[in-house]
Structure 1
């Protein structure tokens, strides 16, 4: 079976790997499309032992474990494996898989799992939404687009911060009230800040919080550790800081994926996919993603490779 593996230089190579093993509670998915996320590309720099990239996939069920009753062979699905999804086939626990209606193409569904689950769970973490003012930094990725559409649809007043006006225009169309490219232009104070950039921006957003506001820290895309001075009394008095990890949830991935699928099918959620390519172009898409040339999600469609891919050095594992 063909799959992407870390090449040791921050990108991927193609390799022949063993077929996935399907346990009693798993399903085997023939991958038709997958999405590339920035967090996964960071892991390519120093991959854990045995790790292969791939957390967002869509395709069809080839086999089901003995204890799986909710899914059947031949069913179209969207899935969120822990890893290894950039491949022809992947084994996934059934509680991380949701059925897909025929109205949603695989290329659309593949953009849902990580970014969609993150946005949905951010909404749940924040709690009360209608009427609250919010600031989302680094909002031009997949999570930001989903979050803005969900939060604005629930009545939130969302300001987004992006690296450029061009990267943020679609967020305004999805319901954001204000787009800024510099934190000094953000018209606070805010009830809630979702901070994903890190570095000095972290403290700057804290100062924009209302008294007893909420700051949700969900990453450091700048690769710079966040800093804050708790003796700086400018803004954020008695505020709460929460470290957010999307994988910690009382609701299963399968249930939340089913919610996202229903929202897309009903026209209430619109995956923002601005790059679609054949999976042989994965390395180029990674380069574009890291260079911030991709807004929203990037999706790769899986063709059945020949034994040797002429565009990429081949290794075996």
Structure 2
């Protein structure tokens, strides 16, 4: 079959080539991929900045398509079911094996392109907000808000009653966040008018200490990314002189007491009910995956970039 293969000699991108047919385990369904999404983390893996490879590794964690062979153990969706899935890798291909605990069925009202934008960003948003605790009536500061996760967090938090201030590189990139319920959009944490009960930080570098300084006493900062690739430097005495009893929490979206299937089913239900609106900034044929990766690295894509498999 055809698949996107890492092309290390081409700037950390991919090329279409031949790959072995998937060999599903007993609890995996074989899915014919119709669309997939590219995430920033996968671009980090491809250029070596995030070392999560193993022998034979190929990228691809967000897919939508149709089950062509149900799991051998009898669990999960039947053959012919339209699904959205979150495999650990290998999804940028014509076919992929996906664990049934990482699959959810799609209603006719949710197309493959929309569904492909849901898994990593949507699951992260759901779990991130659970880590933040109840947000109704609370002030929330969200950095790196114009990416895929940020759009979902903004809409979900605002619909839950939070007053969200979104930090976006430009006001143009942040315009959609206002439509999704953000109370304000600023271009740096320094411009945000605190204090905030919760800070959701994904940029790193100078962004985290600036956002931390805007926490209310007893507030919580959840650190869920470092998109800038710039390490964070915190001075204890600055922190000590800041918000009293402020807390910093590490976040890993893969750690939860719910399955990916359950999270995907929730996201699909919200989309089908008109309560969640994936922001898809780019839709292209999968032959242009390399271009999508380049644009994501240059922050030229707002929300998610989706590729369709011909």
- TM-score normalised by L of structure 1: 0.94
For 1:142 and 1:266, how far apart are their aligned partners in 2? 20
C-alpha deviation, 1:133, in angstroms: 0.3
Q: Give deviations 1:179-208, integer Å, cap 9, x for gaps.
A: 100222100010000010001211111111
Q: 2:9 aligned with 1:3, yes or no?
A: no
Task: Report what 1:65 is aligned to.
Answer: 71
C-alpha deviation, 1:66, in angstroms: 2.0
Task: Please provide the CA RMSD for this pair.
Answer: 0.9
C-alpha deviation, 1:135, in angstroms: 0.4
Task: Report what 2:16 is aligned to.
Answer: 14
Q: Counterparts in 2 of 1:15-164, with a 5 A limit?
A: 15-46=17-48, 48-49=53-54, 50-164=56-170
C-alpha deviation, 1:277, in angstroms: 0.4
Structure 1 stretch displaced more, 63-72 or 294-303: 63-72
May I ask how many residue pairs the two structures share in their alignment? 303
For 1:155 and 1:87, how far apart are their aligned partners in 2? 40
DSSP-derived class of the 1:220 partner = coil
C-alpha deviation, 1:89, in angstroms: 0.3
C-alpha deviation, 1:65, in angstroms: 2.1
Q: Counterparts in 2 of 1:169-248, with a 5 A limit?
A: 169-232=175-238, 233-248=240-255
Q: 2:258 aligned with 1:251, yes or no?
A: yes
Q: 2:299 aligned with 1:292, yes or no?
A: yes
- TM-score normalised by L of structure 2: 0.96
DSSP-derived class of the 1:203 partner = helix
C-alpha deviation, 1:68, in angstroms: 3.2
DSSP-derived class of the 2:227 partner = coil
DSSP-derived class of the 1:249 partner = coil
Task: Report what 1:274 is aligned to.
Answer: 281
DSSP-derived class of the 1:231 partner = helix
Q: Show structure 2 runs of 5+ residues with no match.
A: none
Please identify runs of 4+ aligned residues in structure 1 that moved more than 3 A: none
For 1:285 and 1:182, how far apart are their aligned partners in 2? 26
Task: Report what 1:312 is aligned to.
Answer: none
Task: Report what 1:309 is aligned to.
Answer: none
For 1:51 and 1:235, how far apart are their aligned partners in 2? 44
